[in-house]
Homo-oligomer: A and B are copies of this chain.
Amino acid sequence: MEQNQQQTTVEQQAQTDREFMSIALEHARTASSLGEVPVGAVVVRNGQVIGWGFNLRERGKNALHHGELAAIHMACSRLGGWRLFDCDLYVTLEPCPMCAGAIINSRIRRVIYGTGDPKAGSCGSLVNLFEIPYNHIPQITSGVLEDECAGLLQTFFRDLRKEKDSKSKIVQKTEDQQQLLF
């Protein structure tokens, strides 16, 4: 009986995690539609989204415009304090060192991410900032809606490469024509 209850709680948590990751994914899709690397994040408190954000580095022309920082900033503003003790952060991609540092600084309780980032991931992929004896260590859950989160990034970069190839072909064709004509 007790085991069943525990199992239900774990399943409920997993379902909740998928629901909030879906919202983070929506924000990532917004980033993609703007030509930004698709990463989205939400901060959740008592079952409510109190902060959200998506990567906007190119359009925002700002190195700080990552989804996690925007979501944490909004959550602090809404709660009127810098400590997000009872808040969880959902993000489609494993946080980079800057965002992992912000998660520690804001005392986020739990971090749930979709897919790992071998190039910059700070929950263990590149470095693990959550195992150093620093101010605060959040709980980590990875792999939530992993296929959707990873797929969105793969599609984005594939399309980007296609676009670049296409542009490069047009440039080559233009140069060829110029050589023939002049």
Contacts and interface: CB of A to CB of B under 8 A. Distances in A.
Interface of A: 57-58, 60-66, 69, 72-73, 76-77, 80-84, 96-102, 104-107, 119-120, 122, 126-127, 129, 132-135
Nearest to A102: B98
Given A97-B104, A98-B102, A101-B96, A72 B76 contact: no
**This protein's copies in its complex:** 2
A76 B101 contact: no
B97 A77 contact: no
Contacts of A69: 64
17 contacts: A61-B76, A61-B80, A61-B81, A62-B73, A62-B82, A63-B102, A63-B107, A64-B72, A64-B73, A97-B100, A97-B104, A97-B129, A98-B100, A101-B101, A119-B134, A120-B134, A126-B133
Contacts of A106: 63-64
A57 B73 CA distance: 12
Nearest to A107: B63
A95 B122 CA distance: 17
Contact of A63 (B98, B105, B122): B105
Contacts of A83: 63
A107 B72 CA distance: 23
Candidate in A63, A64, A133, A135 with the most chain B CB atoms within 10 angstroms: A63
